[in-house]
A and B are shown apart, each in its own frame.
Chain A
Amino acid sequence: MDLSSINPLLFIAGFFVAATPLIFAAIGELVAERAGVLNLGVEGMMIMGAICGFATAVETGSPLLGFVAAAVGGAVLSLLFAFLTQIMLANQVASGLSLTLFGLGFSALLGQNYIGIKPPRLGDVDFGPLGDIPVIGPILLSHDIIVYLGIALVFGVWAVLKFTRAGLVLRAVGENHDAAHALGYKVVRIRTLAIMFGGACAGVGGAYISLIRVPQWTEGMTAGVGWIALALVVFASWRPLRVLLGAYLFGGLVQLQLNLQGVGVAIPVEYLAMSPYVITIVVLVVLSRDANRAPGSLGRIFHASQ
């Protein structure tokens, strides 16, 4: 065993890449949940984003256009969920699960001609001489634009929810939709927008996997990231900045596990692989003592005449 072959700089830099799909998917879902909508279709929207982004990037040669298409693809799919739950007043848990099933199937149909193709590459952002700063350079300033966008998005969501009127209205709708309705807010419209935002974010997160992290297209390639993102939102107790923390923890544990294996530490891999989930449960128990709780109307159906 020789722990010295783990390079701490690269180890930590690896967190950012591993966490980015999670960050996008989770921050989108967080906004939807703060508006009172529980969308379990994250995995389906991510995989739609993965194929829409991949196909567009391959056809146009532009990875950035790919990400735009991924956002559109995820948002369009989420509209289906919005229609079911907001207009047709269907149960959100069942609608979300169905959305995942549909998304996995539909993406596979769309992707039939994109197997075994290498997508165009998105380069890292060039910070010029700043990139040469020791420690900070390799850890923070060696990534592609989407990594930074993800972090910026989290702070953006945090600021909007905390400081703006729009954020206040969104939270009001999520806490008590009847009261919000009585105050004249358009609950269905606000929730639909929140759902679409969630879909767009999940789509970008999916495309990050198919265009940058892996990069290739294969059916079902998101392999459960959407579910982890859902867990992450609750882990973060619906606070945007804690999403960042959680995403690095989740991504970091996978990295740590692989790193320890690489240096030959005889660890029982299965038990280390289950550790992020066990830790999440422990953190939940610890966090349960403070006042963070789910939005009051989460998952409940809203109908104006009630």
Chain B
Amino acid sequence: MTFTKLLASAALVAGMATAAFADGDDKTKLGFVFVGPVGDGGWTYEHNVARLAVEEEFGDKVETVFVESVAEGPDSERVMTQMALDGADLIFTTSFGYMDPTINVAAKFPDVKFEHATGYKRADNVSTYGARFYEGRAVQGHIAGKMTKSNTVGYIGSYPIPEVIRGINSAFIHARKANPDVQFKIVWAYTWFDPAKEADAAKVLIEQGADVILQHTDSTAPQAAAQEAGNVITFGQASDMAQYAPKPRVSSIIDNWAPYYIERTKAVMDGTWESKDTWGGIGTGMVGIGDITDAVPADVKAEAEALRDSIGSGEYQPFTGPLKKKDGSDWLAEGENPDDQALLQMNFYVEGIQDDIPQ
């Protein structure tokens, strides 16, 4: 048994090795594994926009392939393997759930580079990258705090995971700074994708008095609900959602992966690619802040832009002490900033948020 196992795996590795070396042409080949359809208008759509930007940038020197709507688990492992077998030099795996499959496949193809989005496991040929969307949330929080007349801000979350909680905390801290009376109403949709449910959630929040809606779900449904309601403002999520500007959409957070994808492709071409963890924010352009419209008063707009720029330059960090957790215990001392590890696994609300994180 052990012997056959050894023999079989040796044969497999040999087969894969020849396959990987069989690719003779000098084009740099990139593979993209997408969790949703490229037509989802949100997360996957933006990754695909970045893929096209890479093609635009390098023209004939690159060839990109992608597979969309790949289920996490064995399907993703198969698709990655297939791309590696077909001679991909660099493979972007763009969903948290691809983490273990990426590590597994990377171990079998030491000469292929992998880039895994939003994960925390790395290897010699696996980098991780993610975006500090919470930086953008700070800007939104500020505008929200200034603009709300009912002092009620609605927030639509997907699932209660650190990524989303981080955004809520960041938005809340800056909304409170701008307006000490502001309250957040948080509704969890418990789905990644269900536009009708997002519409319902937005309507409910508006009916309950929210006049600003922040969303951590990707469809434009909340925008339309806000437009319908009238005096409600919203922010675009994932893409600019400019079709709802100047109102209700007054600004947006844009996932801008293109600069990073271009940089990493270049690194592979130059042979300078190394495994690293990148967490880009406003400063590196990975988090784009969409145009703040004229529906926002000029002074608020100027403040928001100043906040954006100070975060972008690294002068200011959205999580800066003194801050307490919701239960009243101390979190950050005066002037203290959390390290990335603490940010990554944030699982508590900051002081002032009334709701509890669903358990």
Contacts and interface: CB of A to CB of B under 8 A. Distances in A.
Interface of A: 5-7, 10-11, 14, 17-18, 21, 108, 111-112, 115-118, 209, 213-216, 218-225, 254-255, 258-259, 261-264, 266-270, 273
Contacts of A263: 185, 208
A6 B244 contact: no
Nearest to B203: A14
Nearest to A112: B39
B37 A220 contact: yes
B177 interface: no
B41 A264 contact: no
Given A262-B187, A269-B188, A116 B219 contact: no
B207 A10 contact: yes
A14 B202 CA distance: 12
Contacts of B239: 116
From B39, B186, B221, B239, name the one whose CB has the most chain A CB atoms within 10 angstroms: B39
B196 A214 contact: yes
A258 B221 contact: no
Contact of A118 (B40, B197, B207, B244): B244
A21 B224 CA distance: 17
B200 A111 contact: no
Given A111-B39, A258-B201, A214 B220 contact: yes
From A118, A219, A254, name the one whose CB has the most chain B CB atoms within 10 angstroms: A219
B205 interface: yes
Contacts of A258: 187, 200-201, 204
B250 to A, nearest CB: 16
B224 A215 contact: yes
Given A5-B208, A5-B209, A115-B45, A219 B40 contact: yes
A42 B187 CA distance: 29
Nearest to A216: B220
Nearest to A259: B204
B190 interface: yes
B221 A214 contact: yes
B190 A218 contact: no
Nearest to A10: B207
Contacts of A10: 207
Contact of A261 (B40, B41, B187, B354): B187
Given A115-B45, A214-B224, A223-B197, A262 B203 contact: no
Interface in B237-282: 239, 243-244
B195 A221 contact: yes
Contacts of A112: 39
Contacts of A11: 207
Contacts of B197: 223, 254
B172 to A, nearest CB: 14
A15 to B, nearest CB: 11
B239 to A, nearest CB: 7
A264 B354 contact: yes
Contacts of A6: 207-208
A223 B193 contact: yes
5 contacts: A220-B193, A225-B196, A258-B200, A258-B201, A266-B355
A90 B27 CA distance: 50
Q: Which 9 A-B pairs have the closest CB atoms?
A: A10-B207, A223-B194, A214-B195, A258-B204, A219-B37, A118-B243, A214-B221, A219-B39, A261-B187
Contact of B358 (A14, A259, A268): A268
B346 to A, nearest CB: 20
A112 B358 CA distance: 37
Given A5-B208, A108-B39, A216-B41, A266 B356 contact: yes
Contacts of B62: none
B199 A214 contact: yes
Contacts of A108: 37, 39
A270 B224 contact: no
A10 B202 CA distance: 13
B141 interface: no
Nearest to A209: B196
